[in-house]
């Protein structure tokens, strides 16, 4: 399918609006900037009916014991959280430095990931649209580890360049999700550590694994790369653990493909395992997961059972 033609004037207008918002955030004291984010989150919750309905439906399935008021509270908290994450992404380059990172993040729950990150083998850092995943890349870069991140290229080229500068501020390099396959395989062969988001719907051809009690179409590529390049999967989350602006980098599980050597179901089994680890993280902080996307959009096709022919009728 051909790409939709871009409108340079509109791209420029959107870019300038974003840069203006960024300038405003930088001018404000942090508490006031976060209060402003809360207001934006509330406004988005009120106006964005479509995604609000998607989030409520997802939460009703994920937590069937919740009553409607509790579901609504979680939806509102989700909007608030991601509005704050957007503001924090703007603040990170100025606030998060080698000398002061302990004010904003803790790394006491990531000891299990130290060995695979410093080993000669490649590693895949697996996370989800949960907490503040952008902070993890900056934190790992601050402690001297060079990593790569797989990310979708934005359609607006000006915004793409701006966001890329933010993401690569501490040495993390971005690899385009669809266009840099050769580069991705090259860095993995060289033993690189590559981060990826692994909670998007993979369409009808994905591998279906259980996620909050429902089959969820999940990309096979993460487990396939782990097997092909002998790369452990380091499943992490970065939840907000204190207000107004403090996160923990949590290593939930390390999955070694060598434990699945010789298994014909290795890819499906590893996908189930890392998805279950992500679910555990999300269950501890459900308001910090991006429930607004259609994670369960595709479902397995139903197998039609063919009834045996009626012998008597055939004989007649």
Q: Could you tell me if residue 25 is inside a domain?
A: yes
Q: How many domains does the chain have?
A: 1
Each residue of 230-270: pLDDT tens digit? 999 999 999 999 888 889 989 999 999 999 998 999 999 99
Each residue of 200-236: pLDDT tens digit? 999 988 999 999 999 999 999 999 999 999 999 999 9
Question: What is the distance between the alpha carbons of residues 270 and 263, in angstroms, rounded to a whole number?
Answer: 11
Q: Could you tell me if residue 309 is inside a domain?
A: no
**Mean pLDDT score across all residues of the chain:** 87
Do residues 273 and 255 touch, judged by C-beta distance below 8 A?
Answer: yes
Q: Could you tell me if residue 273 is inside a domain?
A: yes
Q: Could you tell me if residue 302 is inside a domain?
A: no
**Phi, psi for residue 28 in degrees, rounded to 5:** -90, 150
**Phi, psi for residue 89 in degrees, rounded to 5:** -60, -35
Q: How far apart are the first and last CA of the chain?
A: 54
Check whether 120 has a pLDDT greater than 50.
Answer: yes
This prediction's pTM: 0.88
Backbone angle region of 144, left / alpha / beta, with phi > 0 → left and psi within -120 to 50 → alpha: left
Q: What is the pLDDT of residue 171?
A: 65
Do residues 18 and 162 touch, judged by C-beta distance below 8 A?
Answer: yes
Each residue of 30-50: pLDDT tens digit? 889 999 999 999 999 999 999
Nearest C-alpha neighbor of 236 from the set 134, 153, 93: 134
Check whether 276 has a pLDDT greater than 90.
Answer: yes
Q: Could you tell me if residue 294 is inside a domain?
A: no
Do residues 123 and 232 touch, judged by C-beta distance below 8 A?
Answer: yes
Give the tokens for residue 126: 């697996």
Q: What average pLDDT does the segment 93-108 reach?
A: 77
pLDDT band at 137 (very low <50, low <70, confident <90, very high): confident
Do residues 106 and 238 touch, judged by C-beta distance below 8 A?
Answer: no
Q: Which residues constitute the domain of residue 208? A: 8-288
Q: Could you tell me if residue 99 is inside a domain?
A: yes
Helices (H), 126-265: 133-142, 157-167, 181-189, 221-229
Matching residue, tokens 């990826």: 196
Q: What is the pLDDT of residue 272?
A: 96
Check whether 311 has a pLDDT greater than 70.
Answer: no
Q: How many Cβ atoms are within 10 Å of 221's Cβ, its own excluded?
A: 20
Q: Could you tell me if residue 187 is inside a domain?
A: yes
Nearest C-alpha neighbor of 148 from the set 99, 102, 189: 189
Half-sphere exposure of 257 (CA within 13 A, CB side): 21
- The residue count of the chain comes to 316
Give the tokens for residue 221: 């590529």
Q: What residues contact residue 69 under an 8 Å CB cut-off, 6+ apart?
A: none
Q: Could you tell me if residue 85 is inside a domain?
A: yes
With residue 56 as reference, give the H or E element that holds it.
Answer: helix 49-62
């Amino acid at each position: 399918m051909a790409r939709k033609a871009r409108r340079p004037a509109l791209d420029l207008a959107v870019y300038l609006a974003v840069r203006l918002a960024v300038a405003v955030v930088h001018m404000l004291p942090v508490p006031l900037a976060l209060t402003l984010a809360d207001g934006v989150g509330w406004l988005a919750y009120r106006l964005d009916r479509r995604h609000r309905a998607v989030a409520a439906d997802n939460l009703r399935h994920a937590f069937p014991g919740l009553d409607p008021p509790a579901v609504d509270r979680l939806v509102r908290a989700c909007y608030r959280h991601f509005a704050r994450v957007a503001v924090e992404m703007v603040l990170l380059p100025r606030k998060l430095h080698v000398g002061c990172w302990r004010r904003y993040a803790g790394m006491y729950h990531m000891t299990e990931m130290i060995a695979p990150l410093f080993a000669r083998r490649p590693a895949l850092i697996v996370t989800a649209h949960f907490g503040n995943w952008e902070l993890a890349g900056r934190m790992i870069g601050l402690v001297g580890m060079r990593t790569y991140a797989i990310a979708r290229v934005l359609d607006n080229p000006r915004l793409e360049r701006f966001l890329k500068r933010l993401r690569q501020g501490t040495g993390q390099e971005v690899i385009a999700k669809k266009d840099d396959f050769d580069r991705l395989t090259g860095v993995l062969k060289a033993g690189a550590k590559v981060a990826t988001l692994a909670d998007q719907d993979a369409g009808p051809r994905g591998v279906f694994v259980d996620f909050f009690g429902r089959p969820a179409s999940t990309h096979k590529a993460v487990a396939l790369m782990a097997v092909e390049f002998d790369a452990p999967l380091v499943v992490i989350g970065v939840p907000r653990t204190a207000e107004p602006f403090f996160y923990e980098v949590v290593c939930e599980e390390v999955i070694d493909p060598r434990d699945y050597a010789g298994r014909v179901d290795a890819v499906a089994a590893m996908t189930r395992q890392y998805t279950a680890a992500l679910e555990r993280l999300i269950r501890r902080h459900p308001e910090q997961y991006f429930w607004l996307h259609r994670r369960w959009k595709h479902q397995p096709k139903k197998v039609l059972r063919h009834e045996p022919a009626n012998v008597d009728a055939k004989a007649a």
